[in-house]
A and B are shown apart, each in its own frame.
Chain A
Amino acid sequence: MLSLHRIRAGIQLALLLVLAMVVACGLLWLGSAPPDAAELSIVEGVSIATLDPAEVSWLQDIRIVSQLYEGLYAPDPRGMESHPACSEPAERLELPAGGVRYRFRIRAGSVWSDGSPVTADDFLFAWRRALEPGTARDYSFFFHHIRGVAEYVDWRHREIERIRELPHSNGIVERHAHLRDADLHFAETVGLRAPDPRTLDVELVRPIPYFLHLVSLPVFLPLHRATVEPHRRISDAGLFYYDPQWTKPGRTAYNGPYILDHWRFKRGLRLRRNERFRAATPDAPQTVDVLDVNDTNTAWLMYETGRADWLLSIDTSFVSQLVRIADSPLPGAINTGGTIRRDIHSFETFGTYFFNVNCRPTLNDGSPNPFADPRVRRAVSLAIDREAICRDVTRRGEPPATTLVPPKMLPDYPTLSGLSFSPTAARAALDDAGWTAGKPPPEITILYSTDANHPLIAQAVASMLTRHLGLRTRLIGKEPRSYRADKQRHDFMLARGAWFGDYPDPCTFLEIFRTGDGNNDSAYDDPVYDDLLRRANECDDPAERGRRLADAEHRLITETVPAIPLFHFVNTYALDPHVIAGVQLNPRLLVQLRSIAVKP
């Protein structure tokens, strides 16, 4: 027989427990709420991954980090130029040995948020940290333009390997000696010098025409050495690591216009104005909340109900409709002529959507690659109706692309035009390649990731290849990481790709097709192209350099076709310009909070 008393006692106990836990969690939750609303609430669609300038790679992280720190140079709010920021304008000096030296003078009045002055040493510390083997990341190769860096990093790797092989006790002694050597080695061989606390000399291996743009990237930001260095750990083999706790609020000092006030995981962060920032920013919002909202429909509802003031991107399926009904008063916006709303702003960005074409002679399974022949690649490019894709599939007003570098954004770079839709020319190119009607052509596979609108675009492209070229196609949709793994192994025929320019120069797009480049997913191997790039960058005259680079791109998009551009990306902001003034529609999607004013 069941024991009724025990049952009742059990139920009561369980209820009490549940109640106690709910109350406890509720208290915990209320206790962690921020005190008040910020002056400006921004919605960021993707979670912030890291606030360490050396690790930063994603746009959302770049946007926050560039509010917290100020580099020697910084992109202007319009985004296609770089201006002196923490430094006076740099002096450039040609060296007799063929290199070039930049001298940066740190501006008087540049201080950290704890009051200490920003010194050249803070830059040296941060830069060395960003290139050291233990802390180097995606962007550290930009430092390899500096004299001695590549050699230093190689030497460090060799030494670390050597120490790792040693028995433990010897290893410790060796490691100690090696680290002392490393400091010396770095100071002597690497082309970075601080003759006095306010001067930084940077010596490059060869002239890099866009070096000042590179210096304004996050990986070149300074760090407050006194508070960051104590978090350093050294591995047994002599690699430097950092305990990431230094990135949390209150742990370090900042030299940018904002400091980090709160950072709650997956909920967002709060920025507060840095009262010690070198320039006055009287109109800038005192506090800014950056909210972490992953679902785009939810983000939109937050904006519509007044919870958020600014959506940094609208990616919902209805954005096309939204763009159509809205008329943006902001300069640079492409959506004009709508009548209903004035708070939606679409603008062209410095990014291109394309399809990579595998250029290797054979596929990974050993069979011959039908796309090894450039005429076939041309045929595919000619058979894609980009206008139709932009008009009917993506529908946000994206400009159809025939070039990789977004046109009319860069000074000194001529406007090119590549292959546009022409079914007859496409068929002719295919016939030319010997794919005659008699023999059945091989099946074409199209690799894409199953997120966002990539499946729709891939399906539209596949149906165009079938219709205009009579090709059999097979769609291979994979979840993003598997897709990425396949692509890096060059395990595809056609694969969707995209690139956003890192710095405002054509090279940021053209370098990824250089032979052996880590991002050359097409496995494009063309000595002629490499040579065109090299010759262009040897050129001093900006206009002539632009023409030479354009020749290189022309070869890519019309003759050899390792990538088929489809369209240039468009981004859409939602914000009321009567409430938030001073927002610039920046093609690189950067944001400068200090130039924004919020009206009550």
Chain B
Amino acid sequence: MIRRIATRLIQLPLLLFVIYSLTFLMIVAVPGNPFQRDGGRAISPVVEQALRERYGMQDNLAFYGRYLQRLFHGDLGRSLQYENWSCNEIIAASLPVSITVGLTAIAIATLGGVTLGILAAIYRHGACDAFALFVSILGVSVPTFVIGAGLLVLFSVTLPVLPVGTWDSPLDLVRPAVTLSLVPLAYILRLTRLGMIEALQSDYVRTARAKGLSESTVIFRHALPNAMPPVLAYLGPASAAAMTGSFVIERVFNIPGMGLHFVNSVLNRDQMLILACVLVYSAILITLNAVVDVAHAWIDPRIRVGGARA
């Protein structure tokens, strides 16, 4: 167990380094100049040269080295687009927002998905199963930008109960979190249902029933825990994806989160912010995956997950 954790800890910086290098290669290969602003006046080559020097970006090699050097001091660089802000400030301002929305969404998805999944498995082939199936397929069949826009109009104009475009009260959390939860909810529902169907047919559940335990005890204490490992495994990458934000949801609901930067930084060729976002996202994702793997191994010592040769 300790060896497994240690391997993961050593892997993290190595993986991040490789990811940094890969991203770097991509951002310098993409055409477009971060210093020539859209719709603005052209800047002269001399001015651009001085600017590049200021950001430590005289040439690609210098940029690559300088940024890495900064990283060791915990400095993610300065945004090229939002010139008065450092990437650290930007991420510190937006990551908590995204984490709040993302975790709430995951909580909704887990609660809803597991409940519906259990019901669907118990009443297999019944109305409940059909409803669950419908929800799970709907979640992955309608684009989020349509659902988001629909919810926005529905609950602020048609039925004026929620505020629009603000981020001041927990009420502002409801719609984005629900929208964001639809896709993970669909997956969790599906995984729970499959796991529960299998568990309910297994020998130990039959034994438990034969012992005369009540149905709820059988379901919650015996069947459910056996159906959970795949859900837990899915939760790792799903939370990472949810916590680092979604462009569509943040834009439609006007939430100042990380997802905006993923897209905008690339469109603006804000190379510093691209690197910062990728590194933060990757660190979160790799950590969460590692946590899930380790937890998984701890729960089920037989499993060797994700090809880790511990």
Contacts and interface: CB of A to CB of B under 8 A. Distances in A.
Q: Do chains A and B touch in the complex (CB under 8 A)?
A: yes
B10 interface: no
B51 to A, nearest CB: 8
B106 interface: yes
A298 B162 CA distance: 13
B185 to A, nearest CB: 15
Given A25-B96, A266-B93, A295-B252, A138 B228 contact: no
Contacts of B85: 244, 265
A472 B65 CA distance: 49
B8 interface: no
Given A25-B103, A28-B96, A267 B83 contact: no
A21 B156 CA distance: 29
B253 interface: yes
Contacts of A140: 47
Interface string B112-152: 00000000000000000000000000000000000001001
B99 interface: yes
B54 A266 contact: no
B156 A301 contact: yes
B106 A18 contact: yes
B254 A248 contact: no
B38 A481 contact: yes
A542 interface: no
Interface string A300-321: 0110110110000000000000
Given A301-B152, A304-B157, A480-B267, A55 B32 contact: no
B54 A6 contact: no
B163 A55 contact: no
A519 interface: yes
Interface in A278-334: 291-295, 297-299, 301-302, 304-305, 307-308
Count class of interface residues, chain B: 35 or more
A291 B168 CA distance: 13
Contacts of A245: 84
Interface stretch (B16-24, B275-283, B292-300): B292-300
B153 to A, nearest CB: 7
B104 interface: yes
Interface stretch (A81-89, A193-201, A367-375, A482-490): A482-490
A295 B100 contact: no
A484 B36 contact: yes
Contact of A247 (B37, B40, B84): B84
A137 interface: yes
Nearest to A304: B157
A290 B42 CA distance: 28
A454 to B, nearest CB: 11
Given A239-B50, A265-B93, A302-B165, A55 B42 contact: no
Nearest to B32: A481
A134 B54 contact: yes
Contacts of B170: 26
Contacts of B246: none
Given A7-B229, A29-B96, A305-B160, A298 B165 contact: yes
Interface in A234-258: 235, 237, 239, 241, 244-245, 247-248
Interface string A10-27: 110010001001100110
Contacts of B81: 49
B39 interface: yes
Given A22-B103, A244-B78, A479-B267, A485 B31 contact: yes
Contacts of A244: 78, 83-86
A136 B54 CA distance: 12
Interface residues of A, number: 72
B107 A22 contact: yes
Nearest to A6: B299
B50 A18 contact: no
A485 B38 CA distance: 10
B221 to A, nearest CB: 8
B254 A298 contact: yes
Given A136-B50, A307-B164, A518-B44, A22 B300 contact: no
Interface string A499-527: 00010000000000000001100000000
A404 B83 CA distance: 32
Contact of A138 (B42, B84, B86, B94): B42
B277 to A, nearest CB: 13
Nearest to A48: B82
B32 A485 contact: yes
B41 interface: yes
Nearest to B222: A4
Interface of B: 31-33, 36-44, 46-47, 50, 53-54, 78, 81-86, 89-90, 93-94, 96-97, 99-100, 103-104, 106-107, 149, 152-153, 156-157, 160, 163-168, 170, 221-222, 225-226, 228-229, 232, 235, 251-254, 256, 260, 267-269, 295, 298-301
5 contacts: A29-B96, A49-B84, A51-B84, A138-B47, A295-B251
Given A25-B96, A134-B54, A484-B36, 12 more contacts: A3-B299, A4-B221, A7-B229, A49-B84, A57-B40, A265-B256, A293-B254, A301-B164, A307-B165, A479-B267, A488-B33, A518-B43
- Lowest 3 CB-CB distances: which A-B pairs, in order? A481-B32, A25-B100, A518-B42
